[in-house]
Amino acid sequence: MSNSWVWLLAGGIAGAILGRPKGQKPPEEPPQKPAPDPRTPEILEELIQEIKIKNREALEQVARKDWEELAARQIAQAMQRVVVHEVNHHSLSNLSLPSEDYKGRIIGKEGRNLRLFESLTGVDIVIDDVPNSVTLSCFDPFRREIAKIAMQRLIQDGRFQPQRIEEAVQRAKSEMTGQLQEKGRQAVSNLKLTKLHPQLAEALGRLAFRTSYRQNVLEHSQEVAHLCGQLAAELGGDVETAKRAGLLHDIGKGLTDPGPHAVTGAALCRRFGESSQVCHAVEAHHEDVPQTTLEATLVQVADAISAARPGARRENTQDYLQRMETLESLARKLPQVVDCQVIQAGREIRVFVRPESADDEECMKLASRLADDIGAAVTRPGPVRVTVLRQFQASAQVE
């Protein structure tokens, strides 16, 4: 009996050992997870803020250096990809005549034809000693182009009569509208953009007969559009919007509406269905309104690059320096002024006043007075913004 119990116990032990997989341990109870500390997120946030505060200056220096290097590299790459053709623009147009007797026909009896043509076109006809040639003189390239077309048609016809002169001038003015639209459409086609409204195309084409410091405005606008497209592609912006805004940014210069050209140009773009992003970039490229998009900033940057590159614009250096000195002297004559800065090539003047000598109302009067003085004393290429700054600062040092 005792032997049977021994064998039964041995068999049970052997079965338990053989039935368990090799290396398997007896099952253990799952460990209990500790309850999460509710203050853990707050502690981590406090640590992050503490690290940021301690390393803020170093991080800002590194970030500033990296961004400056990136900006310089992207601008240089964009400029290298733009090919600009230099064209000299002046105020004279020379026309060849079939023979010398045409000069007498142009003058007419007692100068009748000459006076009529000049009154209808606003262009002076210069008949000098150069054989078989006549010169049209006018500071306005648009009027000069109309006169050139009309004179070429009269020369081909050979009949210089008052009625013929009036018909030729009127027809030239009608043809100019089609030419303006064609120039605008050609600019859009060169940039591979979608079509413009005919009124916008005409206003854009009018820029071909406008200059800014002897830089053709339409060529400048196309250059800005190319730069905007390159910079937007590098920085992840909307290339189509940037190029379109760059092309239209100076469209207000061809209008006669009062106000800054950026504001009037944006209003024209809104009227004829341009997107809000394009209109904002046009309106903000001279900071008439705050910039809120990357494309608006790129238009301002590209505009400055195109205008500042060597050979783009020409201005008498002495006149430029004289204008800057005049602006500063007008501001410094005011008794409350501590310092002043003329920036953006004379488009803005910042005046700093003593806080104790001028309150907010006095600063407003001071800005209005200085604007009136500048308007009366300085010949300006465009609007000048006067900004009066009154700031109080207090500081203390912990030893």
Mean pLDDT of the chain: 78
Of 253, 247, 249, the closest CA to residue 141 belongs to: 253
Q: Which residue type is seen at 40? A: T
Whether the per-residue pLDDT at 48 is higher than 80: the answer is no
Query: Whose CA is closest to 309, among 210, 205, 227?
Result: 227
Q: Which residues contact 273 (CB under 8 A, 6 or more apart)?
A: 197
One-letter amino acid of 363 = C
Q: Could you tell me if 230 and 81 are in contact, meaning their C-beta atoms sit under 8 angstroms apart?
A: yes
Query: Which domains are assigned to the chain?
Result: 92-177 (3.30.1370.10), 191-308 (1.10.3210.10), 317-389 (3.30.70.1350)
**What are the tens digits of pLDDT across the range 208-225?**
888 777 778 888 899 999
pLDDT of residue 87: 43
| Spatial distance between the Cα atoms of 73 and 93, rounded to a whole number of angstroms | 43
| pLDDT score at 277 | 92
C-alpha angle with apex 352: 351 to 354, nearest 5 degrees? 140
* Mean pLDDT for the stretch of residues 265-278: 91
45-54, 183-192, 330-339, range with greatest mean pLDDT: 183-192
DSSP track, 173-236: HHHHHHHHHHHHHHHHHHTT-PPPPHHHHHHHHHGGG-EETTEEHHHHHHHHHHHHHHHHHHHT
* 285, 303 contact by CB (below 8 A): yes
Give the pLDDT confidence of 272-294 residue by residue, as tens digits: 989 999 999 999 988 888 888 98
Q: Does residue 144 carry a pLDDT above 90?
A: no
* Residues 298, 226: Cα–Cα separation, whole Å: 11
Helices 56-80 and 294-308, axial angle in degrees (round to 10):
60
Cβ-contact 185, 249 below 8 angstroms: no
Instruction: Please indicate whether residue 138 or residue 372 has the higher confidence score (pLDDT).
Output: 372
Maximum average pLDDT range among 31-40, 159-168, 273-282: 273-282
Cα separations (Å) of 53 from 57, 92, 163, 167, 328? 8, 65, 83, 78, 41
pLDDT value for 142: 83
